[in-house]
Amino acid sequence: MANLPGVSFLVPVYNKALHLPAVLRQIARQTGDYPRQYVFVDDESNDGSLAIVRELTADWDNTVIHGQSNKGSAGATNACIALADQPYIKFVDADDLIADAATETLLRALHGSDACLAYGRVTHYGDES
């Protein structure tokens, strides 16, 4: 997978403290050999989410953590996009768990094609109530 373009993982965060440790673990477990950037925009969480992101990503390379006044989901997502510096972006909601090879699989699908977008299947699990 050498010479693959990089990916900016974009994570808008708002009051997701409960989910963040697992989400960050899965982002860190992404397989493949490609440049990575991690962008977290905290949208004025009041549950300690920003502190959790800072603590659990302290030793990650190429990480941007930005706090902003509350602008809603679209505002946080747009801020993430503005901070991205890699040719591809991967949106990861702050309560999403992505499979270990998810990003690598999507990059392989894009590599050598004329596609500009790749997406995978979504599986819901757990009790939503």
Give the domain CATH number at 55. 3.90.550.10
C-alpha 17/C-alpha 103 separation (Å) is: 24
Instruction: Establish if 30 belongs to a structural domain.
Output: yes
- pTM listed for this prediction: 0.90
Instruction: Establish if 128 belongs to a structural domain.
Output: no
Q: What does pLDDT average to over the chain? A: 91
Instruction: Establish if 127 belongs to a structural domain.
Output: no
Domain that holds residue 100: 7-110
Number of domains the chain contains: 1
Instruction: Establish if 44 belongs to a structural domain.
Output: yes
pLDDT digits (tens, 9 = 90+) for 75-88: 999 999 999 999 99
Instruction: Establish if 65 belongs to a structural domain.
Output: yes
Angle in degrees, CA 123, 126, 127, rounded to 5: 130
Count of CB atoms situated within 10 Å of the CB of 54: 14
Q: What's the count of helices (H) and strands (E) in the chain, helices before strands?
A: 4, 4
pLDDT for 1 equals 42
Kind of pairing, strands 36-42 and 7-13? parallel
- What mean pLDDT comes out for the span 54-66? 98
